[in-house]
Chains A and B, each alone.
Chain A
Amino acid sequence: MDALTIWLVILAIGIPTFLVRFSFIGLLGRLDDVPDSLERALRFVPAAVLAALVAPEFVAPSGSLGNVPLDALAGGLVAAVVAWRTEDVLATIASGMLVLWAVRFWPF
């Protein structure tokens, strides 16, 4: 991606993001809540998007399901257990990276 495109992408993400944040605070302060149907849908965005971000990186980081790399899969699984138990960002990163390195650099 060239420099100009990168800047345009930054603005094209930044401006709508600000407008979403400003929407009800700045413009629609009279409404006490979002329409119910929208709120119901938005509730699922974090779980759905985060899962869709995470899963391919662990099982298909090369963009193919044919040859699943053991290091990413093992690191991901261990980190998933740690994340679930601790809900701690630092512990999740540390455990995942340690297992990734152990599998990747271990002289089997």
Chain B
Amino acid sequence: MNRDAFRAGVRDALPLLLGIVPFGLVSGVAAVDAGFSLAQAMGLSVFVFAGASQLAALSLVQEGAPALVVVATAVVINLRMGMYSASLAPHFREYTTRWKAAMAYVLTDQAYALSVARYRGGDVDKRPYYLGVALTLWVVWQAATVVGLVVGGGVPESWGLSFTVPLVFLALLVPAVEDRATGVAAAVGAVAGTLGAVYLPLHLGLLAGGLCGVAAGLLVDNPDETDDAGDETAAGGETAGEPPRDADATEEVSE
């Protein structure tokens, strides 16, 4: 295995840790709020290893949602990784199934975005570079979750530490709004999600809001302009990208 490529991956992942560490801490805090034991919280973090879905599942458990709704919501959130898997597949074609499985397990938004950007430039040993990025994120994510679990349990409820959960999602939302169609998806998702949270039974609001947002995005989307949609998605995760337009930061007040 090429150590230089692995080191390059680790080095490229380091700036992302500024975002991963607080995100992991918050997910540890959220696990305490949801009543998870240390083993259960780490089980979630290790078996799922997908922050947004972990946080969404923990919020729903904490609110007393039925198990089926928790599972369905978390899985829908992770469906986007099918897109990353497809995009990386040609690059990983030569590896054994065992390596492919290991590399698929540590696939995240960030590992995908960094690797695809580096592969596009050519000239890197793909497996060690990918593992350098992905394993760095994995280790730091697990460590941050543990710290969050320990710290989160000792903070009084009145501090409202669980408010950090939507704040993390907010920070992830902004780069996800990369053009008009994704802006519409976000605005509709916000309104439908809020109405669903208030009026729908079984905590189905999040699922309903997400699906309405996707449908709205598809409706206003012009397929002719999406030829490079995959590239935009790849860049959106960690570069500034283009500044979000009108529908960006105001959707919270739309209802």
Contact = CB atoms under 8 A, between A and B. Distances in A.
Contact of A89 (B22, B83, B212, B214): B22
Interface centre among A42, A55, A63, A93 (most CB of B within 10 A): A55
Q: Is the interface of A mostly helix, strand, loop or mixed?
A: helix
A89 B21 CA distance: 9
B82 A34 contact: yes
B182 interface: yes
Contacts of A18: 104-105
A41 B163 contact: no
Interface of B: 18-19, 22-23, 26, 35-37, 40, 43-44, 47-50, 52-53, 55-57, 59, 61, 67, 70-71, 74-90, 92-93, 97, 100-101, 103-105, 107, 158-160, 163-177, 181-183, 185-194, 196-198, 205-206, 208-214, 216-218, 221, 223, 226, 229-230, 233, 240, 244, 248-255
B237 to A, nearest CB: 9
B252 A26 contact: no
| Pairs of residues from A and B, 6 with the lowest C-beta to C-beta distance, nearest first | A48-B213, A52-B193, A52-B209, A44-B217, A14-B47, A57-B166
A21 to B, nearest CB: 4
Contacts of B36: 6
A18 B74 CA distance: 12
Contacts, number: 326
Contact of A22 (B40, B56, B104, B210): B104
Contact of A54 (B87, B185, B216, B252): B252
**Most chain B CB within a 10 A radius of its CB, from A23, A36, A89:** A89
Contacts of A59: 194, 252-253, 255
Contacts of B183: 47
A108 B82 CA distance: 51
Contacts of A12: 67, 71
Nearest to A53: B169
Name the prevailing secondary structure of the B interface residues.
helix
Contacts of B193: 51-53, 55-56
A55 B168 CA distance: 12
Contact of A25 (B78, B103, B226): B103
7 contacts: A9-B71, A20-B75, A20-B82, A24-B88, A46-B52, A81-B249, A87-B174
Contacts of A72: 163
A58 B166 contact: yes
A93 B22 contact: yes
Contact of A53 (B160, B166, B216, B229): B166
Given A3-B37, A47-B189, A49-B210, A22 B89 contact: no
B194 A55 contact: yes
